[in-house]
């Protein structure tokens, strides 16, 4: 065959392709699958009751009609349980810790300790720690066992199955959903999980967008915002509204993931999605004992310890930052005033932006840093309840719009340092690691800016 006939053949192929249309691959795959199904029906005899039950459940859990609503119901149910359940122990822990703080202050006075030492250790480190533990521990202790239950049950691959269609449309890989599920726990873990995606193009898309699912470091911020501002918008069904709000934020995160994936697959990472076979494992009822041990020790405590380790230096750092005066104002006020105009533009303020920047090591400490920098302005509040936190935020000019933007910025902004380092390790590329920080930050700024401007335009605030 010479070059001429090669060209002729290509023309012919092009013509034939037009005739059969674009979905050849799907047709081929579905023919093969149907054939395989027919043959196996002919030769295989199963006498297994359990497997039939699995199929019954899957007919509903992965059906076109019920699959998605069931998923959303499950998600908001889990969030409702988390918020409702965490409320009371959170308050209790806060009361306990701030009671201890008072005792510590008395103790320091008794020792005649210098003010800076008391400030650094008690108002800086201890207070940040107390916030991290009392805000994070209860929701995590409820959320993680519930999440682990779904995981052990075998539900996560079904989620991937239900969402596969959307991800394919976005030019991404269906397994990306599984990496996102891991991201709920920790984005760094989610990025590592992207190894299950074989195609480098789709793996990069999954890595770059993993940050759009809120990790456990950001859940407490979302829960707090929901509980403080959004939930109180509706008087009677406080927790329900709050959990629906968090569900909405997560859905928005998924939609942004799809959108960014789509844009990436049309621009920087062009290509067609590869098809894949996903094994739906049999449903297995988890063993509750080992589930609790695993989710509490491996996840909750692990995450908490990480947060505590970061919170200690961050608390000290923030306190110093808030107590060094330059030309009559503190460093934190100085930075905040520089960022104030920009913060206002996207519905936040300078302090919130500073908190997000200082919170780069771990998202868990963004809210504690923010609270500390507000407190350092001289407002002497006893922060022993959610109401006190609400009053503090209100006195700093917060509205529901600020809370909404805080939630969205938290959801969408740059990943934490651990995740960025992991991305660098996985991609071996400074360019992609930089983009992994820049893309989310850009999205966060655009979304918050639009929402703020729309709210101001319609005079909603």
Partner 1 sequence: MGLTRKSTGIYTFLEEFHTDSSGYQAIIALAGNPNTGKSTVFNGLTGLNQHTGNWPGKTVTLAKGFYQHKGKQIALVDLPGTYSLLAQSVEEQVARDFICFGEPDAVVVVTDATCLERNLNLTLQIMEITSQVVMCLNLMDEAKRKNIHIDHEKLAKLLGIPIVPTAARSKEGLSALKDAIDQTVSGGKRLRPKTVCYDQELETTLAELTSDFSSTFSSRINSRWLALRLLDSDFTMVKQILRYINKTGNNLPSSSEEGLDL
In the complex, the smallest distance separating the C-beta of residue 398 from partner 1, rounded to whole angstroms, is 43
Work out whether 112 is an interface residue with partner 1 (CB under 8 A).
Answer: no
Listed ranges 24-32, 71-79, 373-381, 438-446: which one lies at the site for partner 1 (CB under 8 A)? 24-32
The encoded tokens of residue 211 equal 């940050």
| Cβ neighbours for 407, distance < 8 A, ≥ 6 positions apart | 221, 222, 225, 226, 245, 249
Listed ranges 117-125, 154-162, 336-344, 421-429: which one lies at the site for partner 1 (CB under 8 A)? 421-429
Cβ distance to partner 1 smaller for residue 12 or 95 = 12
User: Dihedrals φ, ψ of 272, to 5°?
Assistant: -105, 145
| Residues in 305-334 that interact with partner 1 by CB under 8 A | none
Work out whether 165 is an interface residue with partner 1 (CB under 8 A).
Answer: no
Burial class (CB in 10 A: 0-12, 13-18, 19+), 243: buried
CA 190/CA 436 separation, integer angstroms: 13
Cβ distance to partner 1 smaller for residue 93 or 205 = 205
User: DSSP letters of 284-326?
Assistant: ----HHHHHHIIIIIIIIHHHHHHHHHHHHHHHHHHHHHH-EE
Work out whether 9 is an interface residue with partner 1 (CB under 8 A).
Answer: yes
Q: Which of 52, 102, 115, 198 binds partner 1 (CB under 8 A)?
A: 198
Work out whether 425 is an interface residue with partner 1 (CB under 8 A).
Answer: no
Work out whether 23 is an interface residue with partner 1 (CB under 8 A).
Answer: no
Q: Which of 39, 92, 381, 450 binds partner 1 (CB under 8 A)?
A: 39
User: Dihedrals φ, ψ of 394, to 5°?
Assistant: -60, -40
Residue 322 near residue 378 (C-beta atoms within 8 A): no
Work out whether 428 is an interface residue with partner 1 (CB under 8 A).
Answer: yes
| Cβ neighbours for 67, distance < 8 A, ≥ 6 positions apart | 60, 61, 158, 161, 162
CA 180 from chain centre, in angstroms, equals: 9
Work out whether 36 is an interface residue with partner 1 (CB under 8 A).
Answer: yes
Q: Which of 427, 444, 447, 448 binds partner 1 (CB under 8 A)?
A: 427
Residue 330 parent element (H or E): strand 329-330
Closest CA to 218 of 148, 336, 303, 159: 303
Work out whether 293 is an interface residue with partner 1 (CB under 8 A).
Answer: no
For 217, 403, 448, the CA distances from 455, given in Å and listed in that order, are 28, 13, 10
- Residues 370-409, one symbol each (x = binds partner 1 by CB under 8 A, - = not), give ----------------------------------------
Work out whether 45 is an interface residue with partner 1 (CB under 8 A).
Answer: yes
Cβ distance to partner 1 smaller for residue 118 or 203 = 203
Give the binding-site size for partner 1 (rule: CB under 8 A). Answer: 47
The encoded tokens of residue 324 equal 């060094």
Residue 302 near residue 293 (C-beta atoms within 8 A): no
Q: Which of 11, 24, 284, 425 binds partner 1 (CB under 8 A)?
A: 24
User: Dihedrals φ, ψ of 93, to 5°?
Assistant: -60, -45
In the complex, the smallest distance separating the C-beta of residue 230 from partner 1, rounded to whole angstroms, is 41
Closest CA to 124 of 257, 394, 318, 328: 318
| Residues in 201-230 that interact with partner 1 by CB under 8 A | 203-204
Residues that bind partner 1 (CB under 8 A): 1-2, 5-6, 9-10, 12-14, 16-17, 19-20, 24-25, 27-29, 31-33, 35-37, 39-40, 42-48, 198-200, 203-204, 274-277, 279, 427-429, 432
């Amino acid at each position: 065959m010479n070059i001429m006939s090669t060209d002729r053949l290509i023309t012919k192929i092009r013509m034939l392709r037009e005739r059969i249309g674009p979905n050849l691959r799907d047709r081929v795959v579905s023919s093969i699958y149907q054939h395989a199904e027919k043959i196996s029906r002919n030769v295989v005899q199963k006498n297994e009751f359990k497997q039939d039950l699995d199929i019954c459940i899957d007919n509903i859990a992965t059906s076109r009609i019920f699959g998605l609503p069931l998923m959303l119901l499950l998600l908001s149910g889990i969030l409702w349980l988390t918020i409702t359940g965490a409320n009371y122990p959170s308050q209790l822990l806060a009361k306990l810790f701030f009671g201890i703080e008072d005792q510590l202050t008395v103790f320091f006075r008794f020792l005649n300790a210098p003010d800076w030492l008391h400030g650094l250790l008690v108002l800086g480190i201890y207070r940040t720690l107390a916030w991290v533990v009392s805000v994070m521990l209860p929701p995590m202790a409820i959320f993680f066992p519930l999440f682990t239950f779904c995981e052990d049950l075998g539900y996560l691959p079904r989620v991937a199955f239900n969402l596969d269609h959307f991800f394919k449309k976005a030019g991404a890989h269906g397994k990306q959903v599984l990496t996102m599920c891991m991201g709920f726990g920790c984005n760094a873990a989610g990025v590592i999980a992207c190894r299950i995606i074989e195609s480098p193009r789709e793996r990069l898309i999954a890595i770059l967008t993993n940050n759009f699912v809120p990790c456990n470091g950001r859940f407490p911020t979302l829960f707090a915002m929901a509980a403080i501002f959004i939930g109180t918008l509706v008087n009677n069904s406080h927790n329900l509204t709050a959990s629906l709000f968090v569900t909405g934020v997560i859905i928005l995160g998924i939609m942004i993931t799809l959108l960014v994936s789509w844009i990436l697959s049309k621009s920087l990472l062009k290509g067609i999605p590869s098809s894949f076979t996903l094994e739906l494992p049999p449903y297995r009822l988890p063993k509750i004992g080992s589930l609790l041990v695993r989710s509490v020790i491996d996840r909750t405590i692990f995450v908490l310890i990480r947060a505590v380790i970061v919170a200690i230096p961050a608390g000290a750092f923030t306190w110093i930052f808030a107590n060094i005066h330059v030309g009559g104002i503190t460093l934190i006020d100085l930075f905040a005033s520089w960022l104030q105009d920009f913060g206002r533009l996207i519905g936040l303020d300078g302090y919130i932006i500073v908190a997000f920047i200082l919170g780069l090591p771990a998202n868990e400490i963004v809210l504690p840093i923010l609270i500390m920098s507000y407190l350092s302005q001289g407002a002497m509040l006893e922060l022993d309840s959610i109401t006190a936190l609400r009053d503090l935020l209100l006195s700093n000019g917060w509205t529901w719009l600020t809370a909404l933007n805080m939630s969205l910025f938290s959801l969408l902004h740059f990943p934490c340092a651990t995740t960025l380092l992991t991305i660098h390790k996985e991609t071996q590329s400074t360019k992609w690691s930089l983009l992994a920080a820049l893309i989310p930050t850009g999205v966060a700024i655009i979304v918050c800016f639009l929402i703020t401007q729309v709210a101001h335009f319609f005079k909603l605030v």
